[in-house]
Amino acid sequence: NAGVTQTPKFRILKIGQSMTLQCTQDMNHNYMYWYRQDPGMGLKLIYYSVGAGITDKGEVPNGYNVSRSTTEDFPLRLELAAPSQTSVYFCASSYWEKLFFGSGTQLSVL
């Protein structure tokens, strides 16, 4: 069972560059989420989706975009990377209230 798979695991971006963080799940969950975790902080919700074609903003959506064309995939797009987006990004899918997380993408913007 792969569960929730995130790629890449690490990435360094220059200011102003763009990239897409990939997330895919094989549990057929309708709900998917993107969180970021800054050092010493809890996880903050960026965007979430309740099903294919439906997305909505979380607590900290500025600077990010998402799409959900299939049940399995929920990519997160950074258009103009800024140093404030240096963080660890976690994708998750849920079965009712229980979220299952991927192993994270560590992103540095320099």
Partner 1 sequence: DQQVKQNSPSLRVQEGRISILNCDYTNSMFDYFLWYKKYPAEGPTFLISISSIKDKNEDGRFTVFLNKSAKHLSLHIVPSQPGDSAVYFCAATVRDSSYKLIFGSGTRLLVRP
Contacting partner 1 within 65-94 (CB under 8 A): 90, 92, 94
For 85, which DSSP code?
G
Question: Does 64 engage in binding with partner 1 (CB under 8 A)?
Answer: no
Candidates 4, 21, 60, 78; binder of partner 1 (CB under 8 A) is 4
Candidates 1, 2, 14, 42; binder of partner 1 (CB under 8 A) is 42
- Give CA–CA dist 80/56, Å, rounded: 20
Q: How many residues does the chain have?
A: 110
| Whole-number Cα distances in Å, 65 to 19, 27, 71, 90, 110 | 11, 23, 17, 15, 20
Cis peptide before 39 (omega within 30 of 0): no
* Binding letters toward partner 1, positions 14-33, x by CB under 8 A: -----------------x-x
Candidates 43, 66, 78, 109; binder of partner 1 (CB under 8 A) is 43
Q: Is there a contact between 50 and 31 (Cβ–Cβ < 8 Å)? A: yes
Q: Which stretch binds partner 1 (CB under 8 A): 13-21, 42-50, 60-68, 72-80?
A: 42-50
Interface contacts to partner 1, rule CB under 8 A: 4, 31, 33, 35, 40-45, 48, 50, 56, 58, 90, 92, 94, 96-104
